Structure 1
């Protein structure tokens, strides 16, 4: 009898937790990802805002499983699944048979029907996104320094962030700190302290997933840093020259999109129902409807809790789902009773605003301010992979906290469309 073959698509938090949970289970695992690295997405915005370098929050997947002969890692892009033949096809033409399939393919940014906005308003989901945004932010100051027209200079010094969830608030806070505290001494023709950072939220308040009191604190902390917070009006247009909020145009040469997500094509591959964001609507054991050998986890799965609320698309949720599915597969292979339905344990919501303020919501227990910031930092350092990453990230944060200087302010690559005009 051949070894049970588990094919895992996606090397994010859910996929890796699953593979780790199957260690010693006596199964053969093939892990497929479009990129060769696992990315610690919660700190991706810090690469975009010159605090961390790419190597500090990403690790080669092959290296992580170099000592696991049961795991084969493939760099490739999946373009289809045949659930009847139980095969996965890659864009390269390669075909893989599976006994159990796990889709952990994540999500990307959504523009609510306006995909034409993406070139001028990049989202933040990959290392490429982060380095693109970092380059645009730094180049905006450089362009302003040599711009003689006051209106054009002001447009270069206006940064618009669309969406006031954790990513949007974190980006806005750090860009404001960069402009107001780190850069003023380095430029001669412009005063970077006159930079406008505009945070735009269609809903009534920033950080809507948090308690109202924490949301109000976050907005005050952002405004204290000089961020202009616009709520209650959606963005209606994005161009290379600026963003339109409702009917008001804001000249802005740098726009960052942090407003929504769209799941991968997993539901379409499987031919099963999906929600409005494209997430596969799964059963209580995280299998796809009518497909007991196919699991869907993480940001590409719509999981409803017993209280009727959806499981949030955050890293701890994906890790819990990956760990749960690993237990189910182990039990099936061993011929033992499988665990009961998946139950999500919410470990709390965290967000940071600048270098010394954060909010934490554990339900009954809520915390804000500098102590919350330290707890936020320790929690993120703990979940990084490897001692070296933990040390370098901790050192970077300590250096910035003490000196105010960001260490990753390098402009790399070229971007003709925006950089030259």
Structure 2
């Protein structure tokens, strides 16, 4: 039989290349792709967006410090030199583990021999998903530009508002959740209002804007050392942020929030209180924790499915001390590296299980443009020195020299001149039950009272 007519099971047929499918181009998925360079396999990476996002700086887009292009890069551009990698822009709706295929929203299916789920997470509202239109979270570029639009429109609307109570509500900004994202948002919004915007307005004093950080727990930055947590709170209060601890939010609406026994009228609410994993566990019908994170084996495989790995915010796994591995970029990158090494070993004939060992490099959080806290475990830093280290670390992990230079120059300009160059209001379609109320803000009409406006 001529070679051209060979059938797959013929001795003369060329063996089929191993098919690796990666769902998600975040830190874990992209790290796995990079570490699999040189492997004799065909790799397909699927993401519902066409860009890789540097999420640790997403809040700076939301607060007009950086442009979207400075923290996001096209996936195809990043993988343009990898001829064995196919990039698909698609939304995954499920996994048929028996048939070893990934199911897409358009009815298509992508077959795999090895699957890596790096599907990330979204913000969680603890059973109150109806709050989302009024209190957007911060996980995507769309989220960031939505938040930026609401913040800047609030100042614009206040400039034209004659009623003192309505103006006060417009100049009140609420952040729910005092983890790193909440702390960073609160500090930056306060600086935006108190340092950057005062010369730009004539009818309002932006320095009188209220930034309120609400946390149900007893302290900010609960995952940090208590001393660093206390320092962060003092620093926030020094910037003019009102820190409310020990009070859970019980209502969010277009008019404001109710927390504890207090009602606060506010036109802008930002949610930073919790996350929920993607539905990867539901796709596979396997066990998950309360946040929907898939419970994986020590080697990051799905129990009963050694050909399926999961990494990043998709999973729950413990570190060597028995503590949950945090949902941060370095952890996801380490997991992507580990999975790639395991796949390489398997393709070389080594099927031994290799447990994942997380190495915590430290926790960093910034408080405005000049202060930060860093917990390396063996040493703890705070203040201006910590801020410089925080900045250098983030610039180092950005992709490309142009982006590193651009972000560095933006930060230096903000540090020296209190000016943020990304103060652009990009209009987007309002959606959901808060659409009418958001249009009222843009048109300058009165806001609903607390409890109203929730369709």
Normalising to structure 2: TM-score of the pair? 0.92
From 53, 56, 65, give the equivalent of 1:39: 53
From 242, 249, 269, give the equivalent of 1:255: 269
CA deviation profile, 1:303-338 (whole Å, cap 9, x unmatched): 112322110000000000000000000000111354
CA deviation profile, 1:348-370 (whole Å, cap 9, x unmatched): 00000000000000012000000
Match of 2:325 in 1: 311
From 70, 90, 103, give the equivalent of 1:76: 90
CA deviation profile, 1:58-93 (whole Å, cap 9, x unmatched): 000001111101100000001111111111110011
Match of 2:223 in 1: 209
> In the alignment, does 2:346 pair up with 1:336?
no
How far apart are residue 27 of structure 1 and its match?
A: 1.0
Separation in structure 2 between the aligned mates of residue 219 and residue 7 of structure 1, nearest angstrom: 44
CA contact (8 A) 1:103 1:294 kept: yes
How far apart are residue 340 of structure 1 and its match?
A: 2.5
> In the alignment, does 2:258 pair up with 1:244?
yes
From 294, 307, 314, give the equivalent of 1:300: 314
Match of 1:279 in 2: 293
Match of 1:142 in 2: 156
Separation in structure 1 between the aligned mates of residue 210 and residue 41 of structure 2, nearest angstrom: 55
From 230, 242, 265, give the equivalent of 2:244: 230
> In the alignment, does 2:189 pair up with 1:175?
yes
How far apart are residue 420 of structure 1 and its match?
A: 2.6
From 207, 213, 218, give the equivalent of 1:193: 207
Which has the higher Rg, Structure 1 or Structure 2?
2
| Distance change >3 Å, CA 57–CA 158, structure 1 → 2 | same
Separation in structure 1 between the aligned mates of residue 32 and residue 324 of structure 2, nearest angstrom: 21
From 110, 113, 117, give the equivalent of 1:96: 110
CA contact (8 A) 1:136 1:419 kept: no
CA contact (8 A) 2:28 2:118 kept: yes
Q: Secondary structure of the residue that 1:256 maps to in structure 2?
A: strand
Q: Secondary structure of the residue that 1:351 maps to in structure 2?
A: strand
How far apart are residue 96 of structure 1 and its match?
A: 1.1
Q: Secondary structure of the residue that 2:308 maps to in structure 1?
A: strand
Aligned-pair RMSD on alpha carbons? 0.9
Instruction: Count matched residues.
Output: 421
Q: Secondary structure of the residue that 1:307 maps to in structure 2?
A: coil
Separation in structure 2 between the aligned mates of residue 372 and residue 170 of structure 1, nearest angstrom: 14
Q: Secondary structure of the residue that 2:299 maps to in structure 1?
A: coil
CA contact (8 A) 1:139 1:419 kept: no
CA contact (8 A) 1:327 1:338 kept: no
Separation in structure 2 between the aligned mates of residue 133 and residue 228 of structure 1, nearest angstrom: 20
Separation in structure 1 between the aligned mates of residue 351 and residue 166 of structure 2, nearest angstrom: 67
From 14, 18, 27, give the equivalent of 1:4: 18
Unaligned runs of 5+ in 1: none
From 425, 440, 453, give the equivalent of 1:420: 440
From 306, 325, 334, give the equivalent of 1:320: 334
Match of 1:105 in 2: 119
How far apart are residue 94 of structure 1 and its match?
A: 1.2
Match of 2:131 in 1: 117
Separation in structure 2 between the aligned mates of residue 66 and residue 338 of structure 1, nearest angstrom: 33
Match of 1:385 in 2: 399
Separation in structure 1 between the aligned mates of residue 261 and residue 112 of structure 2, nearest angstrom: 53
Unaligned runs of 5+ in 2: 1-14, 442-455
Separation in structure 1 between the aligned mates of residue 261 and residue 47 of structure 2, nearest angstrom: 42
Separation in structure 1 between the aligned mates of residue 83 and residue 121 of structure 2, nearest angstrom: 29
CA contact (8 A) 2:320 2:358 kept: no
Separation in structure 2 between the aligned mates of residue 327 and residue 181 of structure 1, nearest angstrom: 48
Q: Secondary structure of the residue that 2:273 maps to in structure 1?
A: coil
Q: Secondary structure of the residue that 1:420 maps to in structure 2?
A: helix
> In the alignment, does 2:290 pair up with 1:270?
no
CA contact (8 A) 1:156 1:254 kept: yes
Separation in structure 2 between the aligned mates of residue 283 and residue 250 of structure 1, nearest angstrom: 45
Separation in structure 1 between the aligned mates of residue 200 and residue 240 of structure 2, nearest angstrom: 20
* Moved segments of 4+, more than 2 Å: 336-340, 414-417
How far apart are residue 402 of structure 1 and its match?
A: 0.5
How far apart are residue 44 of structure 1 and its match?
A: 0.1
Separation in structure 1 between the aligned mates of residue 218 and residue 352 of structure 2, nearest angstrom: 44
